[in-house]
Amino acid sequence: MNKVRKLLLVCGCFLGSMSLSAEVTSGSDFEILMQKIRQDFSKNPSIDEALSFYREGAFTDVDYGSIQRTDWPPLVHLQRVSDFVFAYTNPENPYYADDRLFDKIQAGLEFWHERNPWCHNWWYNQIAEPQCLGILLIQMRSGAKKLPEELERKLLERMKTDGGDPAKWTGANRTDIALHWIYRSCLSEDSTDLKKAIENAYSPLVYTTQEGFQHDNSYFQHGPQLYIGGYGDEILKGITQIAMYTKGTDYELPEGKVALLGKFMRETYYPTIRGRFMLFDVLGRGVSRPGVTDKSSTALFARRMMELDPAHADEYREIVGRLEGRLSANVGITPFHTHYPVGDYTLHVRPSYTFDVRMVSTRTMRCEYGNGENLRTYFLSDGCTNIVREGDEYQEIFPVWDWRRIPGVTAPQLKEIPMAKSDWQTKGTSEFAGGVSDSLYGATAYAYEDNYAGVLTRAHKAWFFYENEVVCLGAGITSGAEAEVVTTVNQCLEKGQPVWIRNGKKVCQMNPEDNVGGSLKWVLHNGVGYIFPEGGTVFCQDKMQTGNWYDINHTASREQVGKQVVTVGIRHGQKPAAGTYAYLVVPDLQTAGEMEAYCKDASIRILKNTPDLQVVRNRKLKMWHLVFYAPGTFESRDLSVRADRPCILQLRETKEGRLVVHAADPAQSQQLLTLDIWKGRTSSRPFTWQCDFSQDGMLPGASRMIQLSSDCFRL
Which residues have a catalytic role annotated? Answer: 222, 231, 285
E strand segments, 550-638? 561-574, 579-587, 604-609, 613-618, 623-628, 632-635
Q: Pairing mode, if any, of strands 506-509 and 515-518?
A: unpaired
Using alpha carbons only, what angle is made at residue 461 by residues 649 and 215, rounded to the nearest 5 degrees? 60
- Report d(CA 401, CA 640) in Å as an integer: 44
Give the C-alpha distances (Å, rounded to integers) separating 263 from 206, 240, 298, 442: 12, 14, 16, 21
Could you tell me if 539 and 510 are in contact, meaning their C-beta atoms sit under 8 angstroms apart?
Answer: no
Give a three-class secondary structure readout of 360-376.
Answer: CCCCCECCCCCCCECCC
Q: How many CB atoms lie within 10 A of CB 687?
A: 15
Burial of 505 (0-12, 13-18, 19+ CB in 10 A): exposed
- Report d(CA 362, CA 377) in Å as an integer: 18
Instruction: Please give the helix or strand (H or E) that residue 81 lies within, else none.
Output: helix 75-89
- Report d(CA 64, CA 79) in Å as an integer: 14
Instruction: Report DSSP state, residue 550.
Output: G
Instruction: Please give the helix or strand (H or E) that residue 158 lies within, else none.
Output: helix 149-162
Give a three-class secondary structure readout of 397-417.
Answer: CCCCCCCCCCCCCEEECCCCC
Could you tell me if 273 and 323 are in contact, meaning their C-beta atoms sit under 8 angstroms apart?
Answer: yes
Tell me the angle at which helices 75-89 and 99-115 cross, rounded to the nearest 10 degrees. 150
